[in-house]
């Protein structure tokens, strides 16, 4: 993990096409396996949405800023194949970039309340 004290959180909602959730989940988990070895990677948690069975949500924490993540992580070669598959697997995805400002119960972020 980097010594940079800034962190960026990506909260991404994926709406899978009918019948494509398991294939998408496998692709997403494979991506996470690779990206988890990046030096600025902190954590990722994947969720099923109980009320929306075709939706998955991922919560990722990275050292750095939105700008550094977009410049350094998004262009990684291993993401290209993953991104190409999304057209056939997803109806849409919504990406939110978040900055942590408080944390209780764990120490995943650099925020101490």
The count of domains in the chain is 1
- Of 57, 28, 60, the residue nearest 42 (C-alpha): 60
Predicted model pTM: 0.90
Could you tell me if residue 2 is inside a domain?
no
- Spatial neighbors of 15 by CB under 8 A, at least 6 apart, are 52, 54, 55, 90, 91, 92, 93
Q: What is the pLDDT of residue 85?
A: 93
**DSSP alpha helices (H): ranges in the chain?**
21-35, 66-72, 77-89
The answer to whether residue 71 is domain-embedded is: yes
In a domain, 23, yes or no: yes
Q: In whole numbers, what is the pLDDT of the chain averaged over residues?
A: 93
Residue 107 inside a domain? The answer is no
Q: Is 64 inside a domain boundary?
A: yes
Per-residue pLDDT at 14 exceeds 70: yes
Confirm whether 106 is domain-assigned. Answer: no
The answer to the question of residue 69 being in a domain is yes
Q: What is the mean pLDDT of residues 29-36?
A: 97
CATH of the domain at 93: 3.30.70.100
The C-alpha angle with vertex 68 and arms to 112 and 92, in degrees rounded to 5, equals: 95
- Domain range holding 47? 7-98
> Could you tell me if residue 109 is inside a domain?
no
pLDDT digits (tens, 9 = 90+) for 68-113: 999 999 999 999 999 999 999 999 999 999 999 998 988 888 887 7
């Amino acid at each position: 993990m980097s010594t940079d004290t800034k962190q960026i959180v990506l909260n991404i909602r994926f709406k899978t096409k009918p019948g494509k959730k398991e294939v998408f989940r496998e692709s997403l988990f494979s991506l996470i396996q690779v990206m988890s070895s990046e030096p600025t990677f902190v954590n990722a948690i994947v969720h099923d949405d109980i009320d929306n069975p075709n939706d998955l949500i991922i919560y990722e924490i990275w050292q750095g800023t939105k700008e550094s993540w977009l410049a350094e992580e998004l262009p990684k070669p291993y993401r290209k194949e993953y991104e190409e598959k999304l057209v056939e697997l997803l109806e849409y995805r919504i990406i939110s970039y978040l900055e942590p400002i408080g944390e209780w119960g764990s120490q995943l972020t650099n925020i101490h309340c």
